[in-house]
């Protein structure tokens, strides 16, 4: 047969079963991720979004290269992504920042579908195309992704995961045939992930797991034989630690908890992370996990029993899908839930990359054609839950109201809810939240300072003085607490006391520019023109907002006019 007839016969030959499903898996996952999460674009900035985005000096002055480098030196690519979002929205617009999060999530879901397709084919599983499709859709619509997708500040997790899964999609091919260009591309993607967030250290471990459960067939010796593939990727996190030491001055962030509290809490939370990924119906903006204490509480005992049962199962059946999912979740959580005691004991976004294993487990269970109605129902239920969580995360008020309903006696939750109500123009409700905060954490200056602000917003200046003074006692080195006390003292007519508070707010680090302007105003009123000029000169050397710059120029004009009246 001639070559042309061979080609024609190949064109007429029908595709193997499942080829169409396999080709559609990644695009379907991307489309599902986009369509489901686009409603989150209606949301506003929340909580950590304010310091990370709204008050970001890089976005206030994009031409300031020094701020670009120093704002978050350990995560320069994340900072560049904030700049890209600002350019997309023509300014600091919440929809543009949220849109980038949605696109990253949708693209990651497509990569998940590709990786599951590769893994299932390598393992010789007959339903590989359906597994890829279901896993991609599961990852795209899971409600446990809500914090990563619909909360701008979690961009670090979303961008790192996208780059990490792109690295895996390229690197797994190195396990079969080695090509220098492909290996260089994989190394570059992993490097970019490290420049986004420290969680990138998990992805070389995840590549080892894919090798072990894929080409190596469960044989550790076969994985070790490919050490030339794995070693450069495993070495990169060590290089990242050295780079962090050089840029930030420390190997790791300062611990927020004692290790005797942190480590048992993380161990007990592990089965909870895995269970929430497998049955993703309990997303939470603020989970409020209690720290481990002795004797253990009933919740801790239940999680301990669940952990022991999981470990026993994995030890007896190490090559099952559930064992793979557990190992994957453990590796994914390692950077955030092991060496560094972080402030929050458990948050949903830490399990975002770890959800791949759960997606594969669920996809395998629902892949048979007879279970298609069950798979469709599960996806619909998850999608509905994700839409509801997007609505919760649309505003600071609704997000913190849900957090209060979940954990009414958690100080951080009361603080966030109070600030949300204060921002919404409801100081009376804010007063109740901050009052409760002072009861729950009487030594926390934030509760007393914000209680004073809420009372002042209602014109209750005399009542506001006592909590403001208490905050100043608890946080003597906080310039903003000193400034707030000065404002209340001035409003109550105690100018001498206010002057002392403003002076302290101007002397502490970082100085409060408004305090210096207020001092200059007091000096001008008293005829102390030289002192006023000194205060204005110091304020001019600080970074001022447009509003404060206008005040500075007005005070300079007032000072000049006062001098002109006094000159002969």
- Residue whose entry in the numeric block shows the structure tokens 């209060």: 404
**Cβ–Cβ under 8 Å, residues 136 and 28:** yes
**Cβ–Cβ under 8 Å, residues 441 and 447:** yes
What are the tokens at 79? 């900072």
What pLDDT digit, counting tens, does each position of 412-453 carry? 999 999 999 998 899 999 999 999 999 999 999 999 999 999
Mean pLDDT of 29-57: 94
In a domain, 422, yes or no: no
In a domain, 314, yes or no: yes
- Given a cut of 70, is residue 98 above it in pLDDT? yes
Reported as a pLDDT band with limits 50, 70 and 90, residue 15 is very low
In a domain, 465, yes or no: no
What pLDDT digit, counting tens, does each position of 218-259 carry? 999 999 999 999 999 999 988 888 887 887 788 888 899 999
Reported as a pLDDT band with limits 50, 70 and 90, residue 20 is low
- Given a cut of 60, is residue 14 above it in pLDDT? no
Name the residue with higher pLDDT: 564 or 415.
Answer: 415
Q: What is the CA radius of gyration of the chain?
A: 28
**Cβ–Cβ under 8 Å, residues 19 and 372:** no
Domain count across the chain: 2
In this predicted structure, what is the pLDDT of residue 398?
Answer: 95
**Cβ–Cβ under 8 Å, residues 291 and 345:** yes
Mean pLDDT of 149-164: 97
Q: What's 536-565 look like in SS3?
A: HHHHHCCCCCHHHHHHHHHHHHHHHHHHHH
- Given a cut of 60, is residue 10 above it in pLDDT? no
CA distance 436 to 374: 46
CA distance 352 to 155: 12
Residue 555: asked if its preceding bond is cis (omega within 30°), the reply is no
In this predicted structure, what is the pLDDT of residue 74?
Answer: 82
Reported as a pLDDT band with limits 50, 70 and 90, residue 72 is confident
What pLDDT digit, counting tens, does each position of 181-205 carry? 999 999 999 999 999 999 999 999 9
H or E segment to which residue 504 belongs? helix 495-507
In a domain, 72, yes or no: yes
What are the tokens at 310? 């999981």
Query: Which of residues 325, 346, 370 is at a domain's end?
Result: 370
- Given a cut of 70, is residue 153 above it in pLDDT? yes
In this predicted structure, what is the pLDDT of residue 3?
Answer: 46
- Domain coverage including residue 290: 17-251+260-370
CA distance 418 to 396: 10
What pLDDT digit, counting tens, does each position of 285-312 carry? 999 899 999 999 999 999 999 999 999 9
CA distances, 349 to each of 276, 285, 463 (Å):
12, 10, 41
What pLDDT digit, counting tens, does each position of 497-551 carry? 999 999 999 999 889 999 999 999 999 988 899 999 999 999 999 988 889 999 9
Q: What DSSP letter does each residue of 1-50 carry, written as one string?
A: --HHHHHHHHHHSPPPTTHHHHHHHHHHHHHHHHHHHGGGGG----TTHI
Query: Which of residues 326, 345, 370 is at a domain's end?
Result: 370
In a domain, 403, yes or no: no
Reported as a pLDDT band with limits 50, 70 and 90, residue 132 is very high
What pLDDT digit, counting tens, does each position of 310-365 carry? 999 999 999 899 999 999 999 999 999 998 899 999 999 999 999 999 999 999 99
What are the tokens at 455? 């009372």
What are the tokens at 196? 């986004």
- Given a cut of 70, is residue 174 above it in pLDDT? yes
Reported as a pLDDT band with limits 50, 70 and 90, residue 175 is very high
Query: Which of residues 324, 348, 370 is at a domain's end?
Result: 370
In a domain, 431, yes or no: no
CA neighbours closer than 13 Å in the CB half-sphere of residue 405: 9
Q: What DSSP letter does each residue of 282-305 carry, written as one string?
A: ---SS--PPPP-SSPPHHHHHHHH
What pLDDT digit, counting tens, does each position of 79-90 carry? 999 999 999 999
Query: Percent of the chain having pLDDT more than 70?
Result: 95
Mean pLDDT of 140-166: 97
Mean pLDDT of 31-58: 94
CA distance 445 to 447: 5
Q: What does the buried/exposed string (b/e) look like for 223-247 if buried means 16 or more CB atoms within 10 Å of the residue's CB?
A: beebeebbeebeebbeebeeebeee
Reported as a pLDDT band with limits 50, 70 and 90, residue 11 is very low
Measure the N-to-C terminal CA separation of the chain; round to a whole number of Å: 113
In this predicted structure, what is the pLDDT of residue 243?
Answer: 80
- Residue whose entry in the numeric block shows the structure tokens 């489309």: 31
- Given a cut of 70, is residue 568 above it in pLDDT? no
pLDDT averaged over every residue in the chain = 91
In a domain, 201, yes or no: yes
CA distances, 117 to each of 30, 67, 164, 562 (Å):
15, 43, 17, 78
Mean pLDDT of 463-471: 95
- List alpha helices for 290-371, DSSP H: 298-316, 321-333, 355-366
CA distance 279 to 271: 12
What pLDDT digit, counting tens, does each position of 366-402 carry? 999 999 999 999 999 999 999 999 999 999 999 999 9
Q: What is the pTM of this model?
A: 0.89
In this predicted structure, what is the pLDDT of residue 12?
Answer: 40
DSSP 255: P
What are the tokens at 76? 């320069």
**Cβ–Cβ under 8 Å, residues 384 and 390:** no
**Cβ–Cβ under 8 Å, residues 383 and 36:** yes
In a domain, 427, yes or no: no
Q: Shortest CA distance to 176 belongs to which of 130, 211, 134, 221?
A: 211
Beta strands in 148-304 (DSSP E): none
**Cβ–Cβ under 8 Å, residues 258 and 252:** no
């Amino acid at each position: 047969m001639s070559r042309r007839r061979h080609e024609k016969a190949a064109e007429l030959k029908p595709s193997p079963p499942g080829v169409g499903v396999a080709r559609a898996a990644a695009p379907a996952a991307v489309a599902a991720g986009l369509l489901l999460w686009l409603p989150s674009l209606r949301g506003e900035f929340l909580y950590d979004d304010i310091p990370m985005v709204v008050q970001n000096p890089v976005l206030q002055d994009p031409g300031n290269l020094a701020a670009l480098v120093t704002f978050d030196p350990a995560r320069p690519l994340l900072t560049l992504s904030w700049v890209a979002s600002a350019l997309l929205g023509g300014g600091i617009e919440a929809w543009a920042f949220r849109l980038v999060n949605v696109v990253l999530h949708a693209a990651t879901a497509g990569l998940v579908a590709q990786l599951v397709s590769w893994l299932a084919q390598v393992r010789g599983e007959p339903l590989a195309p359906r597994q890829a499709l279901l896993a991609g859709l599961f990852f795209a619509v899971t409600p446990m992704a809500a914090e990563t997708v619909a909360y701008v500040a979690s961009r670090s997790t979303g961008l790192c995961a996208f780059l990490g899964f792109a690295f895996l999609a390229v690197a797994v091919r190195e396990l079969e045939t080695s090509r220098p260009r492909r290996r260089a591309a994989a190394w570059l993607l992993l490097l970019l992930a490290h420049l986004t967030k420290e969680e990138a250290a998990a992805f070389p471990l995840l590549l080892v797991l894919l090798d072990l459960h894929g080409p190596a067939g469960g044989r550790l010796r076969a994985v070790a034989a490919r050490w030339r593939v794995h070693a450069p990727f495993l070495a990169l996190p060590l290089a990242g630690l050295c780079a962090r030491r050089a840029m930030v001055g420390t190997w790791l962030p300062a611990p927020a908890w004692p290790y005797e509290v942190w480590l048992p809490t993380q161990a007990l939370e592990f089965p909870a992370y895995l269970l929430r990924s497998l049955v993703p119906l309990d997303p939470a903006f603020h989970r409020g996990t209690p720290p481990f204490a002795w004797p253990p509480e009933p919740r801790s005992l239940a999680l301990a029993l669940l952990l022991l049962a999981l470990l026993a199962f994995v030890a007896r059946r190490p090559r099952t899908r559930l064992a793979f999912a557990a190992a994957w979740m453990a590796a994914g959580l390692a950077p955030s839930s092991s060496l560094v005691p972080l402030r929050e004991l458990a948050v949903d976004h830490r399990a975002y990359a770890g959800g791949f294993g759960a997606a594969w487990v669920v996809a395998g269970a629902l892949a048979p054609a007879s279970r298609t109605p069950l798979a469709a129902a599960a996806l619909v239920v998850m999608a509905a839950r994700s839409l509801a969580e997007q609505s919760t995360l649309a505003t600071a008020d609704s997000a913190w109201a849900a957090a209060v309903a979940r954990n009414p006696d958690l100080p951080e939750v009361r603080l966030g809810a109070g600030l949300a109500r204060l921002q919404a123009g409801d100081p009376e409700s804010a007063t109740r939240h901050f009052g409760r905060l002072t009861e729950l954490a009487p030594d926390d200056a934030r509760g007393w300072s914000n209680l004073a602000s809420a009372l002042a917003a209602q014109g209750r200046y005399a009542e506001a003085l006592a909590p403001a003074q208490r905050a100043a006692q608890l946080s003597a080195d906080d310039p903003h607490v000193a400034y707030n006390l000065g404002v209340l003292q001035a409003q109550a007519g105690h100018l001498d006391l206010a002057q002392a508070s403003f002076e302290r707010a101007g002397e502490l680090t970082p100085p409060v520019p408004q305090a210096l302007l207020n001092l200059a105003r007091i000096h001008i009123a008293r005829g102390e023109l030289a002192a006023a000029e000194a205060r204005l000169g110091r304020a001019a050397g600080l970074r001022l907002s447009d509003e404060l710059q206008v005040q500075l120029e007005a005070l300079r004009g007032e000072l000049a006019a006062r001098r002109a009246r006094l000159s002969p």
